[in-house]
Chain A
Amino acid sequence: MATLLNVHRVKYQCSCGSFKSLCYLYFCRHCLKIKCKDCVILEVDCRFCPSCYEHLQSHEAITRKNRCQSCFSCPCCNHTLVTRATNTTAAASPSLNITPDSTTTASLDVDDTISSSTNVSGLQTPSKKVYYLACSVCRWSTRDIRLVDQPTLNSWKAQDNIHEGRFNELLQHYKQIATREKQERDRKRYSTVKLRTTMPTTANRSTSSSDKYGLLAPLTRRGIRTSGILKTPSLTESTNPANPSPKSAETIEQIEALDENLFLNDSFDFNKLTTITQRLNSVEIQPLTIDRLYPLAKNFTSKQSKRCKECDHNVLKPEPSPKLIKFKLHQMALFFIPEIRIWYHPTWSLNDNNSCILSIINQLDEQTTLKIYTLDEIREENTDKELIERINQFDENILTSKLIFPLEKERSVQLHAHVEPNETDTKIDDELRQNDSKDLVIYRKFAKIAIRCFIKIKSNNVKTVLSAFIIEHRVVGISPIVSTPTPTGPNPISQNVRHIVFIDFGSIDESALPLHSALT
């Protein structure tokens, strides 16, 4: 899948080891590591209806089964249904001709538009408004299933589940059995501790003398002598006669035969049957024919906040209101780590050093220094064992070419702060340009620079050119909260962090990219 900037070509390594593009990564400022989608835990922040933005508290939403009360979806095509009003007069004139339509754009709030529709009829007979639901996309309406138009707005009731009563009966019955079983198991545990001299578990020891749960009271009442016998009282004798257990299911008397009229006749119209998706949309009823479809209450969607697994701090926290799309906490890796993109690569030749150009874009609001290392240099340095371990593993299996930079060592580039597009103050920019080494940094404009690198392909039967290098930069993190509250707040700690950047240049047969005029 190609994107405008080909974001999937350059990947950064997350702290869990997987490689993802920078736009999909988060940065945790407490552990100072990159986190990806799999390293964070999602938590539901806010539940809301996607068409009317009604925002509910979590417990309320759960009782409403995560469905909106006033918005409905078309059972045919799943778009939002629009409430339309018509006037019924006392006279027999059909009200369809004088239908004042509410606006048909499905996303608007339905309530406002209904109240503004006026009585167009010039007749003096008393008329009242009745409402029906209609879909503006597939033209289905509640009139198709012969539902009577409702006089009030919010009177579309959800269909009942006919089996619910029986289910609740069964659930009650099993719950009783289960609670009894659990009590007995607990009672058994406590009673053995009291009498036998076997080793009690530590959990029981604390509660054996104190009758914490009131389980030993009936036992002690009956006398110590009964507690010596470890019998399991059978369930039947302790059945509470007040709650009889429900009848077990009865078998069917007569199995329904196939409705031959429906299926075998020439009048069979398969278009009158629902598709499987339409059936599964209403789970409890699953109607066979389209005249039994019913409007579906719209399902809620949610906003989630993401939390780093290691340090349990939030990485991404949206605004709780469904109408605001900003974030309270927005620690995306894009805001902390400079972004690297491929700018140019020549047609690949197998034996020489191919000269390529990478661009680095700084998204931070301040000037940063970026140090660039090749993989070999890190290995020589031999200080960071873990990083070397990761590099080695990676290098053996995946990389097909070696990346080297023009300067021999100590490559550090200054990056300008991120600026607005029409910024004109070029003083700092000019200064930085003067300090650049011309071999490495070919081009500089505010926050974007271009650096040159050389790719040497490892062997002859390479299909795609893959290589990697390391960048290092400074981040300002947030230290964990200290126990004594300091008046200045948490001390920021800044640290150098290193990231492995993995570049996929593409197939080896790909021709050279066009060279930008500024780079020649």
Chain B
Amino acid sequence: MTSFIDSLAASEKTAVVIDIGHAYTKCGFAGNASPRHIVPTTVTIRGKTKHVFEENLDITSLRDRLTEFIRLVYYKYNIANCRERRVVIVESVITPTRIRHLLADILLKQFEASSLAFVPSHLGATYTLGRSTALVLDIGYKEAQIMPVAEGVPLAVQFDSLSYAGEAIHKQIQLLLEQHAFVIHQGHKQSFNEANLKLSEDTLEDIKVRCCFVSPFTRAQMYAKTKLGSDEPFKEASSVEYSLGADTIIHIPGIVREFACEILFEQDIDGKSVATLILDALIQSSLDLRRQFADNILVIGGTAMMPGFLHRLNSELLHLVNISTYVNKLAIKQFHFHLPPSQLNYTAWLGGSIIGALDTLESQSIIREKYLENGIVPDWFTGEQAA
């Protein structure tokens, strides 16, 4: 079913919207209600699959991988010509400058796109709500990033982030498996530690996606009490037999399944967790906006799609506002959340799609001719302005 808008947008000159995340990339055309593809951010070089944003990569390899990846996005997934089309890249505000410059160079010089616009993901998400004021929390793979947007202006100074997101959950799963799980390898039962298995990111992701969930607040409190030696019996969740290849089965106990995601809510040594991100952002914002922000919280990102996440976040917030650290600083005791008209992992892309379909796109983009002249990529961080 193609609506009128879609057929309007379905021309040769529609902008291409790409949201390059650390783990997954969402790509499609502007004006569409959903991206065409969500693909992992990897390229295949000489038969081996490699991550585009690998750690400690030198600039030439990064450039090669990024070029190859963008080529894939255009010609394999989107099937669109790059020349004479506008591009919208949805990015986080703290994308490293060298990656921004690389993207601008590759897209404008090598692929000859007609213009390039960088859209902050948090701002894009507010467009999907039809509101101009919201507190947006984006929990992806590498980090959880929060940024308030007031009256359409992203308050970049109040940006904050924590590295409690998908990758942290993977590490926690590995850790908990070492503590609690056992492995049946070719008929012999051993503890996970003895078997010395190092699970790949893909396996950990599969365990996270299929077996794990976010435990409700009350159960988490009960479990914390039992760990400290209380007598109340704790009913574990059911365990799972996860098969890893032909002759290895990992017996994953219910505790691992339920409490792997606790890492997002357990307050670390600085007292920070995903919930305190929100509360700290509220404290830092000006008094007149606090009520508006607390009434318009938007949580996006792939990790936020874990079952039971939003309910737990709400319970944590309600609990934390009544304890010592926050009870005197914050008068707000109620929080309201939004659900965007999309799945949470592509909400930022959707915002980019709306922005990419507007007439004002040109004024927000870097035009190719200007870039070839002066090579400036406007950045809020370094203060460079477009000429």
Contact = CB atoms under 8 A, between A and B. Distances in A.
Given A246-B130, A258-B215, A283 B36 contact: yes
B33 A62 contact: no
Contact of B130 (A173, A181, A263, A280): A173
B37 A175 contact: no
B69 interface: no
A4 interface: no
Contacts of A181: 359-360
Contacts of A164: 1, 3, 33
A38 B78 CA distance: 19
Given A174-B354, A268-B238, A249 B34 contact: no
B240 A178 contact: no
B72 to A, nearest CB: 11
B38 A280 contact: yes
B164 interface: no
Given A170-B130, A251-B337, A258-B216, A42 B358 contact: no
Interface stretch (B174-182, B202-210, B272-280, B322-330): B202-210
Given A161-B34, A168-B33, A275 B12 contact: no
Interface string A54-75: 0000110111011000000000
Contacts of B258: 264
Chain A interface helix/strand/loop/mixed: mixed
A304 interface: yes
Contacts of A245: 130
Contact of A266 (B38, B130, B238, B314): B238
Interface in A126-171: 160-161, 163-164, 166-168, 170-171
Contact of A283 (B7, B34, B74, B338): B34
Interface in A216-258: 245-252, 255-258
**Residue of B1, B110, B238, B337 with most chain A CB atoms under a 10 A cut-off:** B238
B10 interface: yes
Contact of B110 (A38, A179, A284): A38
Contacts of A166: 341
A399 to B, nearest CB: 19
A44 B81 contact: yes
Interface in B61-86: 67, 71, 74-76, 78-83
A253 to B, nearest CB: 9
A401 interface: no
B7 A63 contact: yes
Given A248-B130, A264-B238, A258 B341 contact: no
Instruction: Give the one of B14, B35, B310 with max A CB within 10 A.
Output: B310
A173 B132 CA distance: 13
Among the interface residues A41, A171, A266, which one has the most CB atoms of the partner chain B within 10 A? A171
Contact of B336 (A62, A252, A283): A252
Nearest to B305: A286
B178 to A, nearest CB: 20
Nearest to B202: A276
B321 interface: no
B230 interface: no
Contact of B311 (A59, A256, A288): A256
A318 to B, nearest CB: 13
B342 interface: yes
24 contacts: A1-B47, A41-B83, A42-B71, A42-B74, A59-B11, A65-B2, A65-B36, A168-B5, A170-B128, A170-B130, A174-B354, A181-B359, A247-B130, A255-B310, A255-B311, A255-B314, A256-B311, A263-B257, A270-B240, A275-B209, A276-B206, A283-B38, A286-B305, A300-B79
Interface of B: 1-7, 10-12, 14, 24, 29, 31-39, 46-47, 67, 71, 74-76, 78-83, 110-112, 127-131, 205-206, 209-211, 213-216, 235, 237-238, 240, 242, 254, 257-258, 295-296, 305, 307-308, 310-312, 314, 336-343, 345-346, 350, 354, 357-360, 363
Interface of A: 1, 38, 41-44, 47, 58-59, 61-63, 65-66, 160-161, 163-164, 166-168, 170-175, 178-179, 181-182, 185, 245-252, 255-260, 262-268, 270, 273-276, 279-280, 283-284, 286, 288, 300-302, 304
